Structure 1
Amino acid sequence: MTQQLTIGERVAWYRHRRGISQEVLAGLVVRTPDWLGKVENNRIQLDRLSVIRSLAHALDVSIGDLIGEPTLLEWSNESGRRTVPALREALMDYRQLTPLLSAPADGEPPTLANLRSDVSEVWDAYQGSRFGFATRQLPLILSDALLAVRTCTGQERDEANALLALTYQGAAMVLGKLGESELAWMAADRGLAAAQQSGNNVIVGSLFRSVTHCLLSTGRYETAVQLVSDAAGFLETGLGAASPSYLSVYGTLFLTGAMAAARAEDRATAQTYLREAESAATRLGADANHMWTAFGPTNVAIHKVATAGELGDFQIASELGPQVDTSGLPTERRVRHDLEVARALTARNRTDEALAVVLEAEQMAPEQVRHHYMSRELVLGWVRGTRGRPSRSVADLAERLRVV
């Protein structure tokens, strides 16, 4: 119902539904009625999640309600015509939760080699921003992974649990990109349980990251910061002889924590976490993609830009962002950085440059740009802020993103 509204317009929509005045809502978020009026009329852009969270809390709605998530996953040749609902059914199938209620499986269980290949394929699709393909494959892989856990024994069962954990994590990451935060949480929670059964601390650390992402998506920023601190304490004992995968998972956890701290407006902790990540990246020595983390010095630089944006330091973000060479990173990371740069440029009234960045990102990953709240909000802001008709490029982009 509110897909074609800006965040500010959604604030007004929910405020009217709650039957409260601008004066009351402004007081609840410690702002002036004049500020809120400008927000609702698109004269002030809500470009910081910390502010959006405070409004969502005051209105008793989710952050997703205000940023317009989830969004409909478009059908494509890769997605087929059974997308998020099919994955939801797989996650909510009670027979998948315990062998006590499951009928004997038909056919042979998958080999671990085949399952490993399938899990790798869906993670590669995620990093390639092919969310439709990943969503289509995940229910099948999840079924195979659960069967493997039930039929394997000994060390093979440990590996099956690790692959099950990574399957759940892949589901959590994809669902997070689509704005399905509750389903993502369900997947991450089950993934962490499977990871603990695997006895592999690299897998456990990887799932800690997904749980942190889920906390971020629901606005639980302080809890996410605490989780990163606790998880890092758990992983520290293995740092002495850490493998590249271990270092990558450890460092990426701090990058996620830095974002959580920035959204909680905890500048000191954000900087501390960035330094910890940078130390791990220096020890790793170069950009890599162990455990699909895309971790290394470049990803640290990307997060310095992103945290600056979350803290409202748009001048810093607009200056640093274009200088980061992301060409060696997976598509998902490159496009996410581009959206951060576009946000910072827009905040500095450099709209033409921001539009060019978003258009380039769309060329690389149309699904990701379509489903990220930031790109939709940027384009809506450009449309609403134009006197008369928007430019053909902006109008066409708005139509492709289904926001007009």
Structure 2
Amino acid sequence: MTETMTIGERVAFYRRRRGMAQVVLAGLVGRTEDWLSRVENNKIELDRLSVIRNLADALDVTLADLVAEPALLDWTSDSGVRTIPALRAVLMNYGLAVPALADDSSDEPPSLDDVQRAIGEVFDAYQASRYGYVTGRAPSVLSDALRASRAAGADETNRASALLALAYQSTVSVLTKLGETDLAWIASERGLYAAQAADNPVVLGSLFRCVAHAVHSTGRFQDGVRLVQSAANVLEPHIGTRAEDALVSVYGTLFLTGAVAAARADDRGSVTSFLAEAAECAGRVGRDANAMWTAFGPTNVAIHRMTAAMELGDVQIAVDLAPRIDTSRLPAERRVRHAIETARAYTARNRRDDALGVLLDAEQLAPEQIRHHAISRQLVLSWLRNNRGARSVALEQLAGRLRLA
């Protein structure tokens, strides 16, 4: 219903639904009535999630309500006509999740080799920003992983649990991108349970990161910070001088997730320490690698340093960092995510033409990611509302492709 509203317009919408005067809501978030009026009339950009979260709390709505998530996933040849509801059906099928309720009359479960291959294909597609493909495949991959895990023999239990954990993680990845945060939390929690049974620190670390991301995607930023701190303590004994790159990568990526959560919680101290830990891990890896589909290395650390600066309100630092980061060696998902942050930073400095150019270039690389990401959609809406100069055909065409005009 509010998909084509800016965040400020949604604030006004929910404030009126609550029967609340501007002066009351402004007071609840420690701002002036004039500030709120300017927000609601698109005179001020709300580009920090910590501020948006405070408004959501005061209005007794979710963070997702104000940023217009979840996004409706378009049907494509990759996705078919069964998308998020199909994933929800698998997550809510206790005949799959609970062995005691299982229907053993179903077809023979797939082999663990087949499950492993399918999980890799889903993760690869996610990193290529093929969200339709991931959402279309994830239900069957998760279902197969559950059946294979239930049928695994004693000598395959750990491997089956590890694959089940990663199947859940692949599901969480696309759910969080599309703003389905509650479903993502359910999947991440179940994935962590499977990872604990796998007796594999690499898989456990990967699921710790997954859960931390799911937690802070719901707006529970400080909880995300605490989770990262606790998870790092669990993994630290395994991070010796001879730790494999995969373990160092998931450990480092955990700190990157924590740095963004800390920035959104206005916790500068944790941002600094988390980024330092991540940089040390990147130094150990020594290159931009992609172990466990982390895209971890020095470049990803730089991307998160810029994102954290934006979330802390250090816009000029983000603007200065953005063009220095060469993402050409990273998967499409990481490259486009950096482009979205760059466009956000340029917009905050009134460089809309530069921001639009960055977003258009990113759309060429990963149209599904631009179409469905909350920040890119919000940027386009704000540019449309605040367009005071000559008519921009390129902007209007982009808005049309994003179903915003």
Structure-1-length-normalised TM-score: 0.99
Identity across matched positions, percent: 58
Say if 2:16 is the partner of 1:16.
yes
Q: CA RMSD in A?
A: 0.9
Residue 395 of structure 2 is matched in structure 1 by 394
Write the distance in 2 (CA, Å) between the matches of 1:284 and 1:71: 36
Residue 74 of structure 2 is matched in structure 1 by 74
Gaps of 5+ in 1: none
Alignment of 1:108-187 (within 5 A): 108-187=108-187
Write the distance in 1 (CA, Å) between the matches of 2:390 and 2:46: 23
What letter matches 1:214 in structure 2? A
| Aligned 8 A contact 1:202 1:245 in 2 | yes
Say if 2:109 is the partner of 1:106.
no
Residue 383 of structure 2 is matched in structure 1 by 382
Write the distance in 2 (CA, Å) between the matches of 1:156 and 1:33: 62
Structure-2-length-normalised TM-score: 0.98
Residue 361 of structure 1 is matched in structure 2 by 362
Q: Rate the CA distance shift 1:369–1:94 in 2: closer, same or farther, 3 A.
A: same
Q: Secondary structure at the match of 1:109?
A: coil
1:180-222 CA-to-partner distances (Å, cap 9, x unmatched) read: 0001011101000011111111111111111111111111111
Alignment of 1:252-401 (within 5 A): 252-387=253-388, 390-401=391-402
Write the distance in 2 (CA, Å) between the matches of 1:300 and 1:103: 46
Deviation at 1:105, TM superposition (A): 4.1
Say if 2:53 is the partner of 1:57.
no
Q: Secondary structure at the match of 2:340?
A: helix
Q: Secondary structure at the match of 1:325?
A: coil
| Aligned 8 A contact 1:148 1:157 in 2 | no
Deviation at 1:106, TM superposition (A): 2.7
| Aligned 8 A contact 1:255 1:300 in 2 | yes
Q: Secondary structure at the match of 2:46?
A: coil
What letter matches 1:73 in structure 2? L
Write the distance in 1 (CA, Å) between the matches of 2:89 and 2:24: 41
Write the distance in 1 (CA, Å) between the matches of 2:308 and 2:194: 31
Residue 206 of structure 2 is matched in structure 1 by 206
1:76-129 CA-to-partner distances (Å, cap 9, x unmatched) read: 000001111111101111211212112114332212111110000000011111
Runs ≥4 in structure 1, deviation > 3 angstroms?
none
| Aligned 8 A contact 1:248 1:290 in 2 | yes
Q: Secondary structure at the match of 1:19?
A: coil
Question: What is the count of residue pairs matched by the alignment?
Answer: 404
| Aligned 8 A contact 2:125 2:133 in 1 | yes
1:264-318 CA-to-partner distances (Å, cap 9, x unmatched) read: 0111210110000000000111110000000000000001110011011111111
Write the distance in 1 (CA, Å) between the matches of 2:187 and 2:150: 19
Write the distance in 2 (CA, Å) between the matches of 1:296 and 1:115: 28
1:227-276 CA-to-partner distances (Å, cap 9, x unmatched) read: 00000000000011311000000000000000010000111210110000
| Aligned 8 A contact 2:96 2:147 in 1 | no
| Aligned 8 A contact 1:213 1:256 in 2 | yes
Write the distance in 1 (CA, Å) between the matches of 2:391 and 2:239: 54
Segment of structure 1 superposing worse, 19-28 or 93-102: 93-102
Write the distance in 2 (CA, Å) between the matches of 1:287 and 1:155: 35
Write the distance in 2 (CA, Å) between the matches of 1:255 and 1:26: 33
Residue 249 of structure 2 is matched in structure 1 by 248
Deviation at 1:155, TM superposition (A): 3.5
Write the distance in 2 (CA, Å) between the matches of 1:71 and 1:389: 30
Deviation at 1:401, TM superposition (A): 0.8
Write the distance in 2 (CA, Å) between the matches of 1:232 and 1:156: 28
Write the distance in 2 (CA, Å) between the matches of 1:390 and 1:49: 30
Q: Secondary structure at the match of 1:20?
A: coil
Write the distance in 1 (CA, Å) between the matches of 2:348 and 2:86: 39
Q: Secondary structure at the match of 1:103?
A: coil
